[in-house]
Structure 1
Amino acid sequence: MVNGINSNSMRIGGLASGIDTDSIIADLMKAERIPLQKMKQDKIWTEWTRDAYRELNTKFSQFDQLFSSMKRASSYKVKSAISSQSDAITAKASSGTPPGSYSIEVSQLATNAINVSSTGISTDPSNKIDPLAPLSEQMDKLGGGTLPSSLSFTTYQNDPAGEVHEIQIDATDSLSDVLTKISDGTGINAFYDVQTDKVVMETKATGDFNVGGNEIDFSSDGGFFANIFNITNAGEKGGTNAKFNYNGGIDLESKTNTTTVNGLTLTFNNVTSGQARISVTNDVDKAVDSITEFVNKYNELIESVNGKVTEKRHRDYKPLTEEQKKDMSESEIELWEEKAKSGMLKSDSMLSSALTGMRQDWYQTVDTGNADINHLSAIGITTSKSYSDNGKLVIDEEKLRAALQNDSDAVYKLFYNTDENNQGLVNRLESSVKQTMENINNRAGKTTWTDEQYTLGKKLKDMETRMDDFQERLTDVENRYWRQFTAMEKAIQKMNQQSAYLSQQFGGM
């Protein structure tokens, strides 16, 4: 500073007047910045409001994910199946299986076809073939001769007419390599057992696919399997279908040991001792659990929404600016902001409307085909009588169990029915929830959205623009104050200089 003048900004301090210009202008600017502070607080409040909406939308989204399970018949019409011979046969009942007793008698299991070398493939048991060395170099161990360039066999799992597999053999292929080629994409497992010195070939699938013939047919082979592996068609065993009688009235077969009849999925582990009884009943426990979980999640959702729309607003607690936080401790800031954030969504019309809509969805009647089960209260679900619960649902479990036991189809239709003129409760509720989520997104957006895509984002962007403009105005105001005080200082300085000059002149007379 030269002669009281700032060389950078040409601002003159109070050297001439003795006034603390910096402090005076700083105090003046504090008053000027009051509107900016309010703008900052409004922006913070708007950001908090946006985040509060998004937090609630997350809860709506979590509840929305439950609708898929509530649309499945298995959530209501759960059946349990108990076998009288569970060591031989087990069963699972689908939602469409009629409750009752079924008899199953299993006389034969489905088996894989298997063929094993009739004798060890090595001519000298004390000098067995090395399964990892080139096969062409060990033909003397297999009785001599030349290694063929290919082998052939036929399977029937994928083609009733037979599927011929041509396997090419290279001179460098080991026994292990050849067996790997045989097993690759042919439906066959082939391996060599070192201890017995035998090759094993078996079908990966159970069942009789070539009635009256072999499942693995070597008729098209030129002698490789017979001469080198000691395997012929005559050695095959297995390849059978499971055979069983259903309800004493019909003999059935299955290529696997798991099959489905009349909605019953049966698994055969052994032949039965006479008839096994399969008892199918409505599994009310699981259905009650599914419905109870859904109702509980709904209650949690409306508790959260109600909490926001009824939360007390503390208007005296404004959002803290960064400048204000500097003079406060962490605990003081936390307590202050807890009050400041309270009531952001109080009496919010959009959320209040959503609550009303969801309550109305629950109270609709649905034509289920059963006049006794056409309303939520008919299955024991009613609105809580406690005013403080704000519309939560309560379940009379005994009544719900009775409805599920008597007519689970009607309960299912009460909740889920796609008929546009007779929608189920879940269908209506889902529409309301998705509409609410869309409304919240339009107002508060998603974290991946830009400000221009939602209402509060546009408002925040506008606030930032106004704050930037106001900040520029403050800079102009501060410069004006400095110009005014600088002009005053210059005038005083000039007067002081003139006074000193006059004093000097009068003093010399």
Structure 2
Amino acid sequence: MRIGGLATGMDIDNLVNKLMSAERIPLDKMEQERTTLEWKRDAFREVNTKLSELEALMFDMKLSPTYNAKTVSSSHEDAVIATASTSTANGTYQINVKELATNAINVSAEEIDASAISAGQEITFSTVDENGEANEYTYTVEEGETLTEVLKRVSADDNNVRMFYDEQTNKVIMETSRTGNYNERGAEIQFTANSFFSSVLKMNMDNEKGGTNAKFEYNNSGLEMESKTNAYSLNGINFEFKNTTNDSNATLTVINDVEGSFQSIMKFVDKYNEVVEALNSSQKEEKYRDYPPLTEEQKKEMSDKEIELWEEKAKSGLLRGESTISSGLFDLRQSWYSNVDTGGEYNSITQVGMKTSSNYLDGGKLIVDEQELKKALRENPADVQKLFSNNEEGASRGIIHRLDDALSTTIGRIGEKAGSTGQTLENYSLGKRMKDLNTRISDFENRLVQVESRYWNQFTAMEKAISRMNQQSAQLMSQFGSGM
């Protein structure tokens, strides 16, 4: 704590502060430059985030389901529905569901005493797996465990069985957790007659019902087919049985899912146009050179709204003129222009109802003719897929792969310039400049401490000199006074 001006009456503290304000001007400029670099780095990273989002959508644009999706309609949706793979041929399929697959179920033959269990009792049963082999399971009643608790423990295990106690009927219900007939020689859930099942749960294995396979006829072939579940895959179609068809046929019609494919492509187009807008806008933003970043002292004299408006102008145009952005935008546009040697019907995006905007201010946004694109997807989805996703080199390389190449290059260049979250300053070019500024700022701050100490020493020396002069003057005056 320094106190000055006692001898001179001068406000030394204020004088030093004003002198130091002048000395701090170069430091303020360095800190403003560092802030600008931080803003520019963050702006670059925001661009890379958008590019990465677009790159993620490109993965789906390389897959067959995007262009060859199928939709299946059913004349008996309450009985049979289905989905189809991209390789499934369009057409109609007849299914006559005669029986549904059911679970095996067994119930206590009479009311039971739920409190009749005791620690140490064993619940032992067996089920048959998909290979026809019997697997035995044993559960021991633990001390203080209720019937409900032990049955819940049995049901939670991987044994294909679930059990629960119904307090309304005072009976236990036991059933398989899967449908189908796995044991043609007897019950699905096997247990001995002199066991916990008969003595406590009052169950008889012969009372088991169900455990049947689904039975259906395909395309009036006369061949009855079976499935342990109420689902079956045939010729690329996944059928799901919900009810019997009462000896009639359910007609399932497979066609191209044009609407689904169109929406998938438009999702990508919208994201692409969003990225183009972001890149293009960054090159058109006005740069306000009279609005440098605010210093902390300047912020103290401004309201939050004033700071917000100032920084809005200060951040404007940060990426304007950056060749990394402009060249990246150019590469994206070029990816759409060249023809693709597909060997098929389509080799240009204009043939499937797509083009880039003729307005240069748009930066090359995509424009889609919905009717033309849907027509291409309906009539020849395979060649639409080739146009976009041919994974080859040279003239046969699909548009999406060309875009991916351009994106990867741009993302890499931005990464070299602005890095990514978690990277140290040494790993990217803007970071190296920031690190250099940090060193210069630290050195300058140390120098300011020395300068401030020098100012105080000089003013202190002046104070001491004037104090001595005042003392001498007072002594002379006293001597003159005593002599009169």
What SS class does the counterpart of residue 305 from structure 1 fall into?
helix
Structure 2 residue 433 is the aligned partner of structure 1 residue 459:
yes
**Counterpart among 404, 416, 431 of residue 389 in structure 2:** 416
In 1: Cα distance, 2:459 partner to 2:173 partner: 106
Residue pair 1:73, 1:95 contacting (<8 A) in 2 also: yes
| Cα distance per residue 1:157-206 (max 9 Å; x no partner) | 33314334456678998766776676554323345566666654432222
**Counterpart among 131, 156, 159 of residue 186 in structure 1:** 159
AA paired with 1:42?
Answer: E
**Counterpart among 106, 111, 123 of residue 102 in structure 2:** 111
**Counterpart among 165, 182, 186 of residue 209 in structure 1:** 182
Structure 2 residue 28 is the aligned partner of structure 1 residue 56:
no
Partner of 1:402: 375
Q: Unaligned 5+ residue runs, structure 2?
A: none
Residue pair 2:7, 2:466 contacting (<8 A) in 1 also: no
Structure 2 residue 275 is the aligned partner of structure 1 residue 301:
yes
CA RMSD after TM alignment: 3.7
Residue pair 1:373, 1:403 contacting (<8 A) in 2 also: no
Identity over aligned pairs, percent: 46
Q: What is the number of equivalent residue pairs in this alignment? A: 477
Task: Report the TM-score when normalising by structure 1.
Answer: 0.81
AA paired with 2:433?
Answer: K
In 1: Cα distance, 2:277 partner to 2:143 partner: 76
In 2: Cα distance, 1:403 partner to 1:99 partner: 16
Partner of 1:266: 239
Q: Offset of 1:307 from its aligned partner? A: 1.0
Rate the CA distance shift 1:239–1:478 in 2: closer, same or farther, 3 A.
closer
* 1:266-285 matches, cutoff 5 A: 266-272=239-245, 273-285=247-259
Q: Offset of 1:267 from its aligned partner? A: 1.3
Partner of 1:157: 129
Rate the CA distance shift 1:30–1:204 in 2: closer, same or farther, 3 A.
closer
In 2: Cα distance, 1:21 partner to 1:149 partner: 94
Partner of 1:241: 213
In 1: Cα distance, 2:472 partner to 2:325 partner: 75
Structure 2 residue 415 is the aligned partner of structure 1 residue 432:
no
Residue pair 2:280, 2:362 contacting (<8 A) in 1 also: no
Moved more, 448-457 or 374-383: 448-457
In 2: Cα distance, 1:34 partner to 1:27 partner: 11
AA paired with 1:354?
Answer: G
What SS class does the counterpart of residue 243 from structure 1 fall into?
strand
Q: Offset of 1:47 from its aligned partner? A: 1.6
Residue pair 1:151, 1:221 contacting (<8 A) in 2 also: no
In 2: Cα distance, 1:386 partner to 1:237 partner: 73
Residue pair 2:187, 2:205 contacting (<8 A) in 1 also: no
In 2: Cα distance, 1:310 partner to 1:459 partner: 25
In 2: Cα distance, 1:174 partner to 1:487 partner: 93
Rate the CA distance shift 1:364–1:246 in 2: closer, same or farther, 3 A.
farther
Residue pair 1:156, 1:215 contacting (<8 A) in 2 also: no
Residue pair 1:153, 1:216 contacting (<8 A) in 2 also: no
Q: Offset of 1:216 from its aligned partner? A: 2.5
Moved more, 462-471 or 432-441: 432-441
In 2: Cα distance, 1:320 partner to 1:280 partner: 65
AA paired with 1:133?
Answer: A
AA paired with 1:293?
Answer: K
Residue pair 2:112, 2:171 contacting (<8 A) in 1 also: no
Answer with 1 or 2: which has the greater Rg.
1
Q: Offset of 1:331 from its aligned partner? A: 3.0
AA paired with 2:413?
Answer: N
In 2: Cα distance, 1:27 partner to 1:462 partner: 28
Residue pair 2:70, 2:254 contacting (<8 A) in 1 also: yes
What SS class does the counterpart of residue 433 from structure 1 fall into?
helix
Residue pair 2:106, 2:203 contacting (<8 A) in 1 also: no
**Counterpart among 98, 110, 114 of residue 131 in structure 1:** 114
Residue pair 1:132, 1:176 contacting (<8 A) in 2 also: no
In 2: Cα distance, 1:314 partner to 1:26 partner: 31
Q: Offset of 1:423 from its aligned partner? A: 3.6
Structure 2 residue 50 is the aligned partner of structure 1 residue 86:
no
Residue pair 1:152, 1:222 contacting (<8 A) in 2 also: no
